[in-house]
Amino acid sequence: ELSESGRELLRELLREHRRLQELSQHLHEKHQREALEGWTKPNAFHVCITSYKLVLQDHQAFRRKNWKYLILDEAQNIKNFKSQRWQSLLNFNSQRRLLLTGTPLQNSLMELWSLMHFLMPRVFQSHREFREWFHNPLTGMIEGSQEYNESIPRCIFRCVFTCPQVLRPFLLRRLKVDVEKQMPKKYEHVLRCRLSKRQRFLYDDFMGQASTKATLASGHFMSVINVLMQLRKVCNHPDLFEPRPVTSPLVTPGLSLATPALVLRALEPHPFQVDLSPFELVALESHLSRYAADWFLPRFRVTRRLVLDVAAAPDPPPRPKPVRMKVN
């Protein structure tokens, strides 16, 4: 089926161009044969709107038609010149071509050559020359090639200044000012934030290292970029540059209470031994859960009244004198 942009284009054409006698829309699979019947006749229709998927399915029928204008929306779909989609659309017979895209460049400059060669095969004909002139210098600087790092100014001039000048006559940028006239102007407010003590220490320590000074003195393009990226981490957040573990005095291990074991030990029959371990509060404190400790231990807490009662209690009677016992 058509994408949302295709449906929007269809609505615009029906609203703005009411004099069109016919408007052919390439529909989904069950209506393909009906849509293609009679369309090889001259002036059978004025506009044909379709999708990349359906074009590939019926590319033989589309190639037999002579198109006055071939417009591709979301042109980044043909950025790979080795794909079947790019090669099929390249062989269409059209007098003019137009590509609409918001991301003409994503991964490498060779994707840009794919779009430009699709538009003007005779102008941007040599794939090898475009690679040697623009792509290889940029890739060499990124990968740290010694050949291109020795001539960084020349490579930067090619990629930053020469490439836009070559492509400018063939590109039409749509700016926000041209699209929306009622939008207010953009105001930029720059707020400067001072480094914290830890950030300042990490920043100065990193810049004072011998390895950092040697890297900056070498002038290696990617090495210098790496130093800047490390400094950027320090400025954004010190933990990005030097992570430290999260510790807090409030984080304590949970208490556990082995309830079945306590019950079994308390009920274990033994004629000459009484197990009082369930009542050893000091020992239980390290095994109780937090909830059980909050509920159980306060019941056996020593209160002020208990201390006064024990202090006011009379002295216990004297212990009897020890005597010898005879056992027969």
Specify if 50 maps to a domain.
no
- Say if pTM beats, i.e. exceeds, 0.95: no
Residue-level pLDDT at 28: 42
Answer yes or no: do 237 and 263 share one domain. Answer: no
Residue 230 pLDDT greater than 90, yes or no: yes
Read off the pLDDT band of 255 (50, 70, 90). low
Residue-level pLDDT at 228: 92
Percent of the chain with pLDDT over 90: 11
pLDDT per residue over 79-110, tens digit each?
A: 888 888 888 888 888 889 988 887 766 667 77
Q: Angle CA(136)–CA(138)–CA(142) in degrees, nearest 5?
A: 110
Say if residues 257 and 289 touch (Cβ distance below 8 Å): yes
Residue-level pLDDT at 259: 58
- The separation between CA 35 and the C-alpha centre of its own chain, rounded to angstroms, equals 42
Q: Residue 278 sits in which domain range?
A: 259-309
Specify if 63 maps to a domain.
no
Query: Which candidate, 137, 129, 127, places its Cα nearest to that of 81?
Result: 127
The highest-confidence range among 6-15, 153-162, 224-233, 304-313, by mean pLDDT, is 224-233
Specify if 282 maps to a domain.
yes
Specify if 211 maps to a domain.
yes
Residue 6 pLDDT greater than 70, yes or no: no
- The separation between CA 53 and the C-alpha centre of its own chain, rounded to angstroms, equals 28
Say if residues 104 and 76 touch (Cβ distance below 8 Å): yes
Q: Angle CA(142)–CA(143)–CA(146) in degrees, nearest 5?
A: 105
Residue-level pLDDT at 35: 55
CA 190 → CA 193, 203, 231, 237, distances in Å?
Answer: 10, 22, 20, 19
Residue-level pLDDT at 78: 85
Greater confidence (36 vs 53) lies with 53
The highest-confidence range among 24-28, 58-62, 249-253, 259-263, by mean pLDDT, is 58-62
Specify if 61 maps to a domain.
no
Residue 243 pLDDT greater than 70, yes or no: yes
pLDDT, mean over the chain: 74
Q: Angle CA(135)–CA(136)–CA(138) in degrees, nearest 5?
A: 70
Distance CA 135, CA 171 (A): 19
Percent of the chain with pLDDT over 70: 60
The highest-confidence range among 104-108, 140-144, 163-167, 288-292, by mean pLDDT, is 163-167
State the total domains in the chain.
2
Specify if 252 maps to a domain.
no
User: How large is the average pLDDT for residues 191-211?
Assistant: 92
Specify if 220 maps to a domain.
yes
Residue 197 pLDDT greater than 90, yes or no: yes
Specify if 317 maps to a domain.
no
